[in-house]
Structure 1
Amino acid sequence: MESVLTNGDLVPDMGDKSVVGGGGVEDVYGEDSATKDQLVTPWTISVASGYTLLRDPRHNKGLAFTEKERDAHYLRGLLPPSVSNQELQEKKLMHNLRQYDVPLHRYMAMMDLQERNERLFYKLLIDNVEELLPIVYTPIVGEACQKYGSIFRRPQGLFISLKEKGKILEVLKNWPEKSIQVIVVTDGERILGLGDLGCQGMGIPVGKLSLYTALGGVRPSACLPITIDVGTNNEKLLSDEFYIGLKQKRATGQEYAELLHEFMCAVKQNYGEKILIQFEDFANHNAFELLAKYRTTHLVFNDDIQGTASVVLAGLIAALKLVGGTLADHTFLFLGAGEAGTGIAELIALEISKKTNAPLEETRKKIWLVDSKGLVVSSRKESLQHFKRSWAHEHEPVKELLDAVKAIKPTVLIGTSGVGKTFTKDVIKAMASFNEKPLILALSNPTSQSECTAEEAYTWSGGRVIFASGSPFDPVEHEGKVFVPGQANNAYIFPGFGLGLIMSGTIRVHDDMLLAASEALAAQVTKENYEKGLIYPPFSNIRNISAHIAAKVAAKSYELGLASRLPRPKDLVKFAESCMYSPVYRNYL
């Protein structure tokens, strides 16, 4: 049997067992059929072999090519005589990765692997997700972005700069894959808690999309990372001879808006109505504006506003089993009133409103925000940015976080400030003084920007805190008991959320889908997890979790009439699993 290259995926030619048509390529693995709806024409088929095959990361298997495959595909002599299997390759690579003392070197080794052998990269990531997630995602991806110019080797994704104005559609057509289903795009202005990294922010879309595949099962060939380069206000980068982006100050106002609008129109024109565009790490003002502007015309999702909100809400719903009561019984105080803080606050208010039938104006009064000028109160309304005004409640002005904690007496304290060490000993002790089990979420990334460490939270609260953070922390021993901190990581939500949108052919994102994703994630926390004080399930089971999230999101989309893939599958969890890309090597005979 001959191997064929169909629309970018090498599959065994199964003769009449392979169905080509409006439903896409139905191969024996099932992984392409369920998320493809591209018509594959016969003249796109070609045979891959020899040296070209070894240099193609999607199809290269390295020493795992069998003797028969080596003969069939002209590989004799191009490889050493030893024949390995994927498991042995995985074992060797994990051994090698663990030899590196510097985490950034592990990141670079993983990126090299992705460029060399795509399936082995994803197999490694899926099977060792808890160990490798901090390497390919937060916190190490932050350092990689800071040094992106120095470690830049081979370009990944598309770079669209002001130079491409008027030609963005042509640039999109330069990308070799045509059946794109998800784009992650950044303009690099607010990378994690690290600020404006300009063009070097590309590490974020690349990292996010590797998780779309590993954790959500979206095919790598359907993913496209994009960086929009409008310049940078980072003086250090502007004077750096190795900086890879435009060496000019950031474009703003009309010039910025026109470039983004051309981009959004070109994407829809090139890829159709159902292309998912995920905004990443845009500055607050642009993030809110872009989401508001395009949510009614495009399938858009902002991970910093909506993804963060959904994962935090899931943790809060799960935590109710440990602290008691309903969400409506709790009082929430945020340090940080940017896109993450206000996004989470709005979703909490929406969930309480849905559960109690109370109007949003009422449910928002349970939620208080502190920004750089102190408590957000009604006397400050005139000077507040528009997205903060809903949270300006009646209260006398309060400057400091500690005083706000003492005045509001929250049951839940959430940090989204991007400023480290702000949950001081006094703040945590105050929370513990009027809560039997204070719920504290220190969400800022990377680790250096976390509002407090897990050890500080457990120690200062006398081991009574229920704690989760944005970046990972090791288990903490306090007075003979081991506490395992949870991680409120967006990676729990966005891969499954995106898969749910793609597999149902959803055309618009609705807030009810975010609530459905939160409830689905909270439902995955087991009794054993709760006994360790965890409010999130372990990442080791993430593909199963993503399938359940995808099913709930898709179900909500069908319910709202926003799904275009008809008829609706009977079992959405099984359908989600059938859609997932498998990184297991294929037999090329």
Structure 2
Amino acid sequence: MSNFYTKIRLSSNQIRNVSYRISRSFTTTECHRPTIINKKGVDILHNPWFNKGTAFSMTERDRLELRGLLPTNIMTDQQQIERFKMDLKKLETNTVDGPSDTIALAKWRILNRLHDRNETMYYKILINQIKEYAPIVYTPTVGLVCQKYSGLFRRPRGMYFSAADRGEMMSMVYNWPADQVDMIVVTDGSRILGLGDLGVQGIGIAIGKLDLYVAAAGINPQRVLPIMIDVGTNNETLLEDPLYLGLQEHRLEGEEYVSIIDELMEAVFNRWPHVIVQFEDFQTKWASTLLERYRYTYRMFNDDVQGTAGVAVAGLLGSVRAQDKMMIDFPKQNIVVAGAGSAGVGVLKAARRTMARMLGNNKQAFESARNQFWVVDADGLITEKRENIDNDVKPFARNAKEINRRGLREGASLVEVVQEVKPDVLLGLSAVGGLFSKEVLEAFKGSTSNRPAIFAMSNPTTNVECTPEEAFSIVGKNIIYASGSPFKDVDLGSGDIGYSNQGNNMYLFPGIGLGTLLSGARIISDGMLQAAAECLAESMTEDEVLKGIIFPPISRIRDITKAVAAAVISEAIEEKLAEGYREMSYRDLKRLNKEEILLHVENNMWKPDYPTLIYKCD
């Protein structure tokens, strides 16, 4: 009876602490409770989810019938890590003069083999050395992996749904062994990075993204699922390749294509109603269409459209701070955008919304904000005179009278636009390597900003609009530079450093996914995405931004993700979209303060520790 009254008293006077303890006790129990399995002996050693390799204790070896199946010496997880590092060290020593692509693929193979046999150790290594290994499991190496995936394929990872599976997907999803899936990354392989149509080989990008969800956001690796939608390919090389693993027929289009995506979405949400689906690397003509089709019905988002936009907006806000201004000055920035594909349009929309909100968040502010952007695509400057203009780009088409007054025209070149506008920011999302040529960069020297910014955001490295060396050497040392792929900082002499910021989507999408999961939000709103971007922009100190550092080091990715997830949760609560997660109800979430939300996020992030395994017969 006394316990009952204690609970009543606490619920009225200290409900925040009770809410936090509910979260903590639930997660702590889950993390430390034994894992019940129905396998013994070699079956465990062949299962990457449960295999500990030489780290099995003698008690477990006896209990699980492993004695004699492993070498006698029991190694700690740190010793296992050191053994793995030795393998990589040997590789680096033996290939020191080899091509960089060959070395990167060799490292990927070593990591992939570890992933195949011991998932816990794989993620422990990835988390502990995320700066070193993120470029191997994600960009830029994942681009090489996707190009060669048919030859690299060794064991299934994820699920494949093809045009031949129409009418069967509702039952097919039950072939996946996990009863709970929190995160799905799905692609149709039509526009992998800047490499184009790679068909079924695009599954590599979904696998790489989910590795980062585990490493950065602490999503349980047993609750993630990469999915490939194979609707054919228009890549003639793959159509003629006898070793290609996908459908060797041209891509489906129109209603036939949409019906397959519809069937898949219905199937996965029927089995896993609370799953979050991230769309990845869909070609431009489908990316925005499918996003608008599903975003208000399912918990989903498109990373190329919304994730790229969020990271770019965070960088743009950071570049304003680097000018020793307040972020509220962002609506005064003139921005030339090179590229009007799905990523470019996503950035335009997000940046415009951010400006409008700072200007009062009304219709007049929204209309005014569009005047800050000058959009150039493969056919030049986009104006109202452009025929068959995409509906998403139309709001950003420049007025004919204005461009005439400025001496410009429909289809004016990038060099001409930069010379006339003298923008604060030159933003590249074109997937055209070298687009920011010497002539363009020379023109950009005329910027009216005291610290102009160059965002060369296209991936992979071969598609970057310009390198940091080119940018700093031509435009000058007082610029801000950011790219989508990793580059080394530039030595400018006299002790000065030109910082090469990597505006990588991995700063945002793991936190967006984790925050949506833990809030139980019904959809992923523009406000939640905006909160994530602003949180990332605010993560940098004044000293850092004044030096020209506008994105944090990758080594801080788990802390950044935790903060982004907390911001997403807070916004979901504010917008009344949150419904709670597991034992943390919406009412409990609503009572948490900022610090408690951060603790709630941290306590729900999976950590790669070997579990205690208990055998139980079915």
> Could you state the TM-score of these two structures normalised by the residue count of structure 2?
0.87
Aligned residue pairs: how many?
Answer: 557
What residue ranges of structure 1 are gaps of 5+ in the alignment?
Answer: 1-21, 34-43
1:386, 1:324 → 2: CA distance? 36
CA contact (8 A) 1:184 1:225 kept: yes
* Aligned residue type for 1:71: D
Q: Does 1:439 align with 2:439?
A: no
For the pair 1:92 / 2:83, whether they are aligned, the reply is yes
Matched, 1:547 2:562: yes
The Cα RMSD (Å) is 2.0
Alignment of 1:212-361 (within 5 A): 212-272=213-273, 274-325=274-325, 326-357=329-360, 358-361=364-367
| Alignment counterpart, residue 367 of structure 1, candidates 329, 351, 373 | 373
Q: Which has the higher contact order (CA 8 A, sep 6+)?
A: 2
Within 2, Cα distance between the matches of 1:25 and 1:56? 29
Q: Do the aligned residues in 1 keep the contact of 2:212 with 2:506 (CA within 8 Å)?
A: yes
Show the counterpart of 2:385. Answer: 379
The residue aligned with 1:51 is: 42
Structure 2 match to 1:471 = 485
Aligned partners of 2:333 and 2:423 also within 8 Å: yes
- For 2:588, the equivalent position in structure 1 comes to 568
CA deviation digits over 1:131-182, x for unaligned, max 9?
A: 1011000010001000000011001100000111000011111000011111
Q: Is contact 2:190-2:283 (8 Å) kept?
A: yes
Partners of 1:30 and 1:579 within 8 A in 2? no
Where in structure 2 are the equivalents of 1:13-24 lying within 5 Å? none
Instruction: Verify the 8 A CA contact 2:188 2:199 in the aligned structure 1.
Output: yes
1:578 equivalent in alignment to 2:579: no
Task: Compute the displacement of 1:446 (Å).
Answer: 0.4
Contact 1:32 1:581 in 2 (8 A): no
Q: How does 1:116-131 map to 2 (within 5 A)?
A: 116-131=117-132
> Are the counterparts in 2 of residues 432 and 465 from structure 1 also a CA contact under 8 Å?
no
Cross-structure match for 1:3: none
Q: 1:547 to 1:456 in 2, by over 3 A?
A: same
Residues 332 and 545 of structure 1: CA distance in aligned 2, closer, same or farther (over 3 Å): same
Could you tell me which amino acid in structure 2 is paired with residue 105 of structure 1? Answer: A
- Partner residue in 2 for 1:457: 471
Give the Å deviation of 1:214: 0.4
Question: What is the aligned partner in structure 2 of residue 37 from structure 1?
Answer: none
Q: What secondary structure sits across from 1:583 in the alignment?
A: coil
User: How big is the shift at 1:29?
Assistant: 5.4
- Residue type at the aligned position of 1:119: T
Q: 1:46 to 1:79 in 2, by over 3 A?
A: closer
How much does 1:303 deviate?
0.1
Amino acid at match of 2:588: R
Distance 2:190 2:457 in 1: 19
Judged with a 3 Å threshold, the aligned counterparts in structure 2 of structure 1 residues 472 and 312 are, in CA distance, closer, same or farther, namely same
- Letter aligned with residue 469 of structure 1: S
Going from structure 1 to structure 2, the CA distance change for 1:355 and 1:568 (only over 3 Å counts) comes to: farther
Deviation at 1:528, TM superposition (A): 4.8
Alpha-carbon spacing, 1:59–1:360, altered in 2? closer, same or farther (3 Å) = same
How far apart are the structure 1 equivalents of 2:473 and 2:29? 50
Distance (whole Å) between structure 2 residues aligned to residue 517 and residue 182 of structure 1: 18
- CA contact under 8 A between 1:337 and 1:417: conserved in structure 2? yes
1:27 is displaced (CA, Å) by 6.3
Pair 1:80–1:143, CA change in 2 (3 A): same
CA distance in 2, matches of 1:92, 1:146: 30
Counterparts of 1:27 and 1:345, CA distance in 2: 40
- Pair 1:144 & 2:145 matched: yes
Q: Please state how far the C-alpha of 1:194 moved relative to its aligned partner.
A: 0.2
Deviations 1:556-587 (A, max 9, x none): 00111111112333211100000100002234
1:424 match: 437
Aligned 8 A contact 2:27 2:603 in 1: no
Q: Distance in 2 between matches of 1:475 and 1:532?
A: 12
1:163 matches 2:164? yes
Q: Is 562-571 or 222-231 further displaced after alignment?
A: 562-571
> What is aligned with 1:40?
none
State the shift of 1:398 in Å: 4.2
Whole-Å Cα distance in 2 between the matches of residues 91 and 528 of structure 1?
36
Consecutive unaligned residues in structure 2, runs of 5 or more: 1-21, 96-102, 404-408
Q: Distance in 1 between matches of 2:151 and 2:297?
A: 39
